[in-house]
A and B are shown apart, each in its own frame.
Chain A
Amino acid sequence: GNSVTQMEGPVTLSEEAFLTINCTYTATGYPSLFWYVQYPGEGLQLLLKATKADDKGSNKGFEATYRKETTSFHLEKGSVQVSDSAVYFCADSGGSNYKLTFGKGTLLTVNP
């Protein structure tokens, strides 16, 4: 089956630092790609998505571009805030019945 590999954490940054969390997928075809975020004590929330090659998903200052040629969907933010501290999950919908396959999650801690 397909898999999603994302940068292992934990990642610790200072406020206003630049963030990159790498994500690659193995699904063939043209799956939709997602980043989900889980804040402490809360459920999964969709952060952003892209549904076709070269699309850029963006939300709350985060961006990720669907790169078919490198099967990647790296998450970036130019200036992180303490409130961005959370676990970030990359996912694709390339499984049968469009089921989501998730990466293992990356814990981000942003210090003031």
Chain B
Amino acid sequence: GAGVSQSPSNKVTEKGKDVELRCDPISGHTALYWYRQSLGQGLEFLIYFQGNSAPDKSGLPSDRFSAERTGGSVSTLTIQRTQQEDSAVYLCAIRDTSNYGYTFGSGTRLTVV
């Protein structure tokens, strides 16, 4: 959606490879979330960044998943040693604290073969 750009839009990778997904939000939004949308699991929270605070990593499914946010703007989600069950659409969202709204990016569709 407008305001959150994600890349790549599609990624096909071989099992065991590492992948890096990128989220580039418009400036000024300090609250950033990653979610995963997969068949059978619906939409699951992964990780949350807020300013300089320690991120909330409570939704990361395993230690193969990590994320960082540099300079309070761009965020990258890294999945190491990908497995077939990692296949999903990974969504990034920002929260607008002025109107309780959330804007989602178009997502990265990850396929692990």
Contact = CB atoms under 8 A, between A and B. Distances in A.
A96 B56 contact: yes
Interface residues of A, number: 24
Given A32-B100, A98-B31, A102-B43, A45 B1 contact: yes
Interface in A29-73: 32, 34, 36, 42-46, 49, 51
B5 to A, nearest CB: 12
Contacts of B28: none
A11 interface: no
A46 B31 CA distance: 17
A10 B33 CA distance: 29
Interface of B: prevailing SS: strand
Given A98-B31, A100-B33, A103-B42, A43 B104 contact: yes
A46 B105 contact: no
Interface in B18-52: 31, 33, 35, 42-43, 45, 48, 50
A98 B93 CA distance: 12
Contacts of B104: 36, 43-45
Contact of B33 (A49, A51, A89, A99): A99
Nearest to A100: B102
A97 interface: yes
Interface of B: 1, 31, 33, 35, 42-43, 45, 48, 50, 56, 58-59, 91, 93, 95, 100-107
Given A89-B42, A99-B45, A99-B59, 16 more contacts: A34-B102, A36-B104, A43-B106, A44-B1, A44-B91, A45-B1, A45-B104, A46-B102, A49-B100, A49-B101, A96-B58, A98-B31, A100-B93, A100-B102, A102-B42, A103-B42
Interface of A: 32, 34, 36, 42-46, 49, 51, 89, 91, 93, 95-105
